[in-house]
């Protein structure tokens, strides 16, 4: 019974299907060695006799062999894949992150799977559960999860968060103070004495940080500053804030992000308010399109592509430690910088009155 396999015609030999991709068994047969030798030759160069290795390489090339990443992942647990979870793929702030992450991953021979949570914590948790088993690590950009949830995930797989400070979890964070300092100095030089900050969502860590930085920098230059908000971080969120901005009597307004700033800019122009002479407007992030406006938007740029890149490189350094000791410096903050365009300028002499 047990030898029913061996009797009769030479029923298709154990390993060798027709159309399918070649396996190490095919190579082994062709090179006349054991499959395990092939595996070693391919993944641990040097472990095998040079002569044999060459023979195996030649056979592999002849068969046009590609290692099956799934078969490799099963025993090793390493998938050569990273996950990137974003709240909203079409949010321009995210694009850069995705690009940077994808590049860094591709450079290292890693594949990137992208999942979108659509701003929902629940969907985010689902998406994470789905990709978790098949990734070596996760980048959480703009996560909507609670700190505790993130920590729990970080305990299972390496995790890097972007734009969020979290005890025990690596975070890629911007040097908000730098860009804000430049912005405030810029406005002060132009002659502004009062600023309004139109803030974003109450729960936004980034919005809070930006506000704190402004709150610290403005008085140093002898400027007054007020916060208006919270508001939704969209064009409409900016539009909705205009009345309060005007009522506050400031000559310059800084919005939580470029989208809100553009909303402010549009509604201001509609109402016949001259920008920048009557009202200077600035935003954050330097998103795609922020220079499409007339006047173009002055903004504090956050290097988002670099954020994505760093996040992935740090993840990789934990997933597959580099022998040469190169380590990604995640301690240093991402440098932000002011981009001066047309939406900020000297206030009219009488405007400050």
Partner DNA sequence: CGAAACATGTCAACCGGTTGCCAAATGATG
Partner DNA sequence: CATCATTTGGCAACCGGTTGACATGTTTCG
By C-beta, is 120 or 322 nearer to its own copies? 120
**In terms of CB distance, is 98 or 279 closer to its own copies?**
98
Give CA–CA dist 173/191, Å, rounded: 31
Q: Which does residue 57 touch among DNA, its own copies, none (CB within 5 to 8 A, set by kind)?
A: none
DSSP-based three-state secondary structure for 3: coil
Within 10 angstroms of residue 350's Cβ, the number of other Cβ atoms is 7
Per CB under 8 A, does 131 bind its own copies? yes
Q: Min. distance of Cβ 267 from its own copies in angstroms? A: 12
Piece in contact with DNA (CB under 7 A), picked from 71-79, 83-91, 239-247, 325-333: 71-79
Q: Is 52 in the site for DNA (CB under 7 A)?
A: yes
> Among residue numbers 8 through 47, which ones bind DNA (CB under 7 A)?
14-15, 17, 20-21, 23-25, 32-37, 39-40, 42-43, 47
Interaction of residue 134 with its own copies, rule CB under 8 A: yes
The reply on whether position 138 binds its own copies by CB under 8 A is no
- Contacts with 286 (C-beta within 8 Å, 6 or more apart), sequence order: 258, 299, 300, 301, 302, 339
How many beta carbons lie within 10 A of that of residue 96, not counting itself?
21
Asked if residue 156 binds DNA (CB under 7 A), the reply is no
Please classify residue 273 by burial: count the beta carbons closer than 10 Å to its beta carbon, then call 0-12 exposed, 13-18 middle and 19+ buried: middle
> Is 72 one of the binding residues for DNA (CB under 7 A)?
yes
Q: Are strands 337-339 and 298-301 parallel, antiparallel or unpaired?
A: antiparallel
Residue 319 sits in the site that holds DNA (CB under 7 A):
no
CA distance 300 to 217: 14
Residue from 75, 109, 272, 325 binding DNA (CB under 7 A)? 75
Can residue 149 be called a binding residue for its own copies (CB under 8 A)?
no
C-alpha closest to that of 86 among 259, 311, 260, 237: 311
The listed partner (DNA, its own copies, none) that binds 95, CB under 5 to 8 Å by sort, is its own copies
Using CB under 7 A as the binding rule, whether residue 109 contacts DNA is answered as no
Torsion angle, alpha carbons of 134, 138, 146, 303, to 10: -150
Q: Strand, helix or coil at 284?
A: strand
Give the footprint of its own copies on residues 12-71 (CB under 8 A): 21, 66, 68-71
C-beta atoms surrounding 347 within 10 Å:
22
From the list 111, 115, 122, the residue with the least C-alpha distance to 88 is 115
Burial 206-233 (b: 16+ CB within 10 A, else e): bbbbbbebbeebbeebebebbebbbbbb
Binding mask 248-287 for its own copies (x = CB under 8 A): --------------x---x--x------------------
Residue ranges in contact with DNA by CB under 7 A? 2-3, 5-6, 14-15, 17, 20-21, 23-25, 32-37, 39-40, 42-43, 47-53, 65, 67-68, 71-72, 74-76
Residues that bind its own copies (CB under 8 A): 21, 66, 68-71, 73-74, 79, 81, 89-90, 92, 95-96, 98-99, 102-103, 106, 109, 111-116, 127, 129-134, 262, 266, 269, 288-290, 292-294
């Amino acid at each position: 019974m047990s030898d029913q396999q061996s009797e009769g015609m030479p029923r298709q030999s154990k390993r060798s299907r027709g159309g399918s991709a070649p396996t190490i068994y095919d190579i082994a047969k062709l090179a006349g060695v054991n499959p395990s030798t092939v595996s070693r030759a391919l993944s641990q160069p040097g472990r095998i006799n040079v002569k044999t290795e060459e023979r195996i390489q030649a056979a592999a090339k002849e068969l046009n062999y590609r290692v099956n990443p799934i078969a490799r992942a099963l025993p090793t647990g390493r998938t050569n894949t990273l996950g990137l979870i974003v709240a909203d793929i079409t949010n321009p702030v995210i694009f850069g992150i995705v690009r940077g992450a994808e590049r860094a991953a591709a450079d290292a021979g890693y594949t990137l799977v992208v999942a979108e949570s659509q701003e929902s914590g629940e969907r985010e948790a689902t998406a994470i559960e789905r990709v978790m088993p098949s990734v070596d690590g996760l980048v959480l950009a703009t996560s909507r999860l609670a700190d505790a949830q993130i920590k729990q995930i970080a305990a299972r797989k390496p995790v890097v968060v972007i734009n969020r400070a979290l005890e025990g979890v690596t975070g890629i964070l911007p040097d908000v103070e730098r860009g804000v300092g430049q912005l405030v100095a810029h406005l002060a030089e132009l002659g502004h004495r009062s600023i309004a900050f139109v803030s974003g969502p109450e729960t936004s860590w980034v919005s809070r940080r930006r506000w704190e930085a402004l709150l610290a920098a403005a008085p140093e230059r002898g400027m007054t500053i007020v916060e208006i908000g919270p508001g939704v971080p969209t064009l409409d969120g900016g539009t909705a804030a205009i009345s309060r901005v005007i009522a506050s009597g400031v000559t310059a307004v800084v919005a939580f992000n470029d989208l809100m700033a553009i909303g402010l800019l549009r509604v201001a122009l509609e109402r016949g308010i001259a920008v920048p002479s009557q009202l200077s407007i600035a935003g954050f992030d330097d998103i795609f399109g922020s220079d499409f406006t007339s006047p173009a938007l002055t903004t504090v740029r956050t290097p988002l592509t670099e954020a994505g890149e760093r996040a992935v490189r740090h993840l990789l350094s934990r997933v597959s430690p580099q022998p040469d000791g190169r380590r990604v410096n995640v301690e240093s903050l991402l440098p932000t910088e002011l981009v001066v365009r047309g939406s900020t300028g000297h206030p009219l002499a009488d405007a400050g009155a």
